[in-house]
Amino acid sequence: MNALTLVLLTPLLGALILGLIRPPPLAGWFNLGVSALSLAAALWLAWSVALVSDLPGDLGGPGAINGPIAGSLAGDIFGLPFRVDAFNVYLVVLTAFVALTTSVFSRPYMRYVLAIGRIGPRRLRTYHSMYQLFMFTMLVALTTDNLGVMWVAVEGATLATVLLVSLYRTPEAVEAAWKYFILCGVGIALALFGTVLTYFAAQQVISDPAAGLNWSTLYTEAGRLEPAVMRLAFVFLLVGYGTKVGLVPMHQWLPDAHSEGPTPMSAVLSGLLLNVALYAVVRLKMLVDGSLAHTDNPHLAGYLLMGFGLTSFLVAGLFLHRQRDIKRMFSYSSIEHMGLMTFGFGLGGPLATFGALLHMLVHSLTKSAIFVTVGHATHIAGTQAIEQIRGLIRTQPTVGWSLLIGVAAIAGFPPFGVFMSEFLLLTATMKTAPWFTLVLLSGLAVAFAGLFRHLHPMVYGTPPEGQQPVAANMIPVAVHLTLVLWLGLAIPAFLANWLDRATGLITGTRLL
Amino acid sequence: MDNYLTLPGWVLAVFQSCLYIALAPLLVGWVRKVKARLQNRRGAPLFQAYRDLYKLLAKEARVAHTASPLFRAAPYIVFTATWMAAATVPLLVVDLPTAAIADIIVLVGLLALARVFLALAGMDVGTAFGGMGASREMLIGALAEPAMLMAVFTLAMTAHSTNLSSVIDYHLVDGFVLRPSYLFALGGLILVAVAESGRIPIDNPTTHLELTMIHEAMLLEYSGRHLALMEWSAQIKLLLYGTLIANVFFPWGIGRGFGAAALGLGLAAVLAKLAALGAVLAVGETVLAKMRLFRAPEFLNLALLLSLLGLLSHVILEVGA
Amino acid sequence: MNLSLLPLLQQLVLVLAAIVLFLSFVLLAQNRLISAIHAFAWQGALVAAVTTVVAATGHIHHLYFSAALTLALKALLIPWMLHRLVRRLELERHTESLQSPTLVTMAAVALVIFSYWLVLPMIQEELTFTRNIVAISLAVVLIGLLMMVFRTQAVAQVLGFMSMENGLFLAAVSATGGMPLVVELGVAFDVLVAMVLFGVFFLQIRESIDSLDVDRLNRLRETGGDQ
């Protein structure tokens, strides 16, 4: 558990110290250092989980039913139960990794923002402190075993980011932040109602009141939880956490918050926060599936996820076409991909779940790379309006090419990783629900067209007079896109095994 | 139930009805007295209301020459309807024959009848004030009646009977139970009572200010015994609402047999309860200011909402089947 | 369920819960901000009272603590903060009426019925007491939501949000005898931080649009292709 303590403590202490550090250049470097330390701790944690879950007698061969409680590390920190297994440690590592690369990008980016006077040093301090606090809340939400603490952490993530969205204090930014705050606040309040109902259901079967909110306890007792209560609870939980996932029609906050906040924030919101919310939904779906297993409609939770997922996927794909702000456009693309993942998790089955997990990874990597590139592009053009961003490839080839490659990757071109995961999801759909394949394919085509019709002039058009390149740090983009490319060409064995183990935890059946 | 229609029962019923007529001016006198005290005045004697009625009854009744026969008949009809309505509300004792032949809906119906004739009489002479008062009265009636019906139905649903006597009986048997629905119904009924009996903040019984008056505007053309009857029925209406609230929501002390002890206790209890209610009314009237007329619907909407919540909370919280 | 068979304290819980619901209606229809804040404070106090009664009936000691927490936070601290903000923003005399109060009130009544209908098939017969309170709490939550939709004034929206939280607390206390203490502390902390942030936002909104009418925050729209 030492690794976990380190994972959680690093960003928390980092946030506290960053709240005190005055000189901006130092804070940027310190932020980077804290993120690097977090990643190291996360890798250590992953390593210890890998050691535990490889114990003999645990996860058996392909097709074996695994207890999800086995193969996980449990422990208490300050009396709070934490539990780390293959599923959440995967997201912990991803979170820490994207946090690190984004902090690499954010250092020069925020210095530039400071230099042009959009923010003062005090707000920069808030920014850095909140950045780490946000990481802390996400990591707590991922690793905690207690559903109540998870709720508190997800709400905490909203609170930590809401000031960042309004960082620039323009009327638009304030409006976006207010929308974000109110909508997510309401959504998350509904999720708390769902949590209360879950706890109520648990109390009828679990004698220890303190353990009634522990996911692991609930999961072992899931079959005895009252189905009617759990059904209602799940609807509230799905609507609540779904608001944070950005599912249509609760997505209204997402494009605004992404477009008006600082770009590094957009990268982590899109790449990480949405994942965490989806993680919560999947965990809760596992509970509900257990509870509803013997009722008339055992896949209710799955159907709900499929419905919400598909709606988000299609609606966001259509909205891509009418965007005029580059960051808004990519946030709709995030909604689209989150919809696809939600659909995949709803479909259930090892193949779809594996695909969705992989998609989480490649989407996070690609989308944060894109937002980083977009950040540079907006600095080059001095605006976020798509119409005025022109000829990137001539002004600054690295940014232009990165945007082109990133969009190609996110649109699902082979040989990138997104293609792999989308292919897996399509195959799974073809197997279980063939009719939806057509819908998915047309949705992908619509989204593809939407992205490229805006992309082409931005990359190839004639640059306006006097457009100058900016100092850009393209290392994070290069790393991310290389990883995505690598994942598209060949998934390394350890990662496949890891994802497979997570799939085993979620569906009870392993794929490989 | 067999003892309903016995001779002593009928005698008592008639006695109780007469008691309504006799006590009504006293309650008004009491409210005025308390109000005067609260305003640091000495106020008129407690029995002034009787003297006023006596004075009016002794005077000659003048009728406008544009008035139709309806104008002359209205005071009698209004008075009788109000009196009959009052007779159905147990004052001293439950299980009277009047209770067996009339329930809450009849009560509401009789009050509506009285209101209609009051309004018709107001319009009959054709003066501007009469018509204005009548239209205002009907506005308030239209809003207050559903609220009252809803509040009363809440009671009826709890007791499984629309008969007031059975409702009271049910509560006496049940003992002290905290019912959220009753709280709301009580609130709703108090607001309705205030509105219907023309007290502050809906109407001010002591002024004849043209722009604000409601009840008084309809009576402007009356004089002598006609006016006395109209005033008297208004007083009976106040007593009726007071008794309804006092005996249904706080039924303790009401007589359950026809013995002298039960009757005496019942009388003492109801007098005490009415005195308390009258004092509360007086305090309320002192503290509050009269509302502008167009805010009256808001006030009555609140009554309606309270009654509705009463009904809902009865269904949701108390039955829960 | 026969009400007269319940212990008096449980009857008291029902009565208090019903008044909490009534206060939600008052909040919804209240035109004056200061009065709305007072109504909210009373609602918080009632939730604290429910918590105390539940603690007394069930001999759940940690509930006394959470009752004190609710009282301090919901009935005193947050109303005080809102009061101060309203005074600072010079909104004491601010009144704002709903577009069609009757319709909104009727919608709220419909929500009460809806939440009962939602909860009705959920819980077995022997738990009717709990079920009924859950229905009331859900109604309070949904009416808070309704308030956030129909109120355009930022402070009123925050009141709606906070009254939603009151509904949640009511549900947690009455249905489950309170969440584990850590969770309750965490939730209370989040609510407090949210309140502080709301205060910051009032000032920011005021600065950017010179008003707290959130309807005027409408720069970010889905722009059509032809615009």
Q: Give the angle C131-C134-C137 at the CA atoms, nearest 5°.
A: 155
Q: For residues B312-317, give the mean pLDDT.
A: 85
User: Rounded to an integer, what distance in angstroms lies between the CA atom of residue A117 and that of residue A106?
Assistant: 16
Element (H, E) at A80: strand A80-84
- Give residue B184's pLDDT: 92
For residue C171, the chain A residues in CB contact (below 8 A) are 193, 196-197
Q: Does the beta-carbon distance from B312 to C112 stay under 8 Å?
A: yes
Whole-number average pLDDT of chain B: 87
Q: What is the gyration radius of the CA atoms in chain A, in angstroms?
A: 22
CA B242 vs CA A395, B18, B202, B281: distances in Å: 87, 16, 17, 10
Q: For residues A444-470, give the mean pLDDT.
A: 89
Q: Is A179 part of the contact surface with chain C (CB cutoff 8 Å)?
A: yes
3-state secondary structure A368-426: HHHHHHHHHHHHHHCCCEHHHCCCHHHHCHHHHHHHHHHHHHHCCCCCCHHHHHHHHHH
Tell me which chain A residue has its CA closest to the CA of residue C176.
A200
Q: Is A143 part of the contact surface with chain C (CB cutoff 8 Å)?
A: no
pLDDT above 60: residue B149: yes
Confidence class for position B53, pLDDT limits 50, 70, 90: very high
Min Cα distance A503 → chain C (Å) is 29
Q: Is A79 part of the contact surface with chain C (CB cutoff 8 Å)?
A: yes
For residue B154, the chain C residues in CB contact (below 8 A) are none
- Tens of pLDDT, residue by residue over A302-341, are 999 999 999 999 999 999 998 889 999 999 999 999 999 9
User: Rounded to an integer, what distance in angstroms lies between the CA atom of residue B46 and that of residue A132?
Assistant: 78
Chains B and A touch (3+ CB pairs under 8 A): no
User: Rounded to an integer, what distance in angstroms lies between the CA atom of residue A283 and that of residue A141?
Assistant: 11
Enumerate helices (H) and strands (E) in chain C, giving the number of each.
Answer: 8, 0
Q: Does the beta-carbon distance from A256 to C220 stay under 8 Å?
A: yes
Say if residues A227 and A259 touch (Cβ distance below 8 Å). Answer: no
User: Rounded to an integer, what distance in angstroms lies between the CA atom of residue C22 and that of residue B227?
Assistant: 42
pLDDT above 90: residue B120: yes
Tell me which chain A residue has its CA closest to the CA of residue C196.
A159
Say if residues C17 and C112 touch (Cβ distance below 8 Å). Answer: no
User: Rounded to an integer, what distance in angstroms lies between the CA atom of residue B89 and that of residue B84?
Assistant: 9
**Main-chain dihedrals φ then ψ at residue A291, nearest 5 degrees:** -75, -35
- Tens of pLDDT, residue by residue over B22-46, are 999 999 999 999 999 998 988 888 8
What 8-state DSSP symbol labels residue A271?
Answer: I
Element (H, E) at A87: helix A86-115
User: Rounded to an integer, what distance in angstroms lies between the CA atom of residue A323 and that of residue A248?
Assistant: 17
Residue A73's SS3 state is strand
Peptide bond into A249 cis (omega under 30): yes
Min Cα distance A200 → chain C (Å) is 5
In this prediction the pTM is: 0.89
Tell me which chain B residue has its CA closest to the CA of residue C12.
B178
pLDDT above 70: residue C222: no
- Tens of pLDDT, residue by residue over B228-274, are 999 999 999 999 999 999 988 888 888 877 778 888 888 999 999 99
Q: For residues C60-74, give the mean pLDDT.
A: 90
Confidence class for position B11, pLDDT limits 50, 70, 90: confident
Query: Which chains have 3+ CB pairs within 8 A of C?
Result: A, B
Burial class for C83, CB neighbours closer than 10 Å (0-12, 13-18, 19+): middle
Q: Find residues 249-308 of chain A whose CB sits inside 8 Å of chain C.
A: 255-256, 259-260
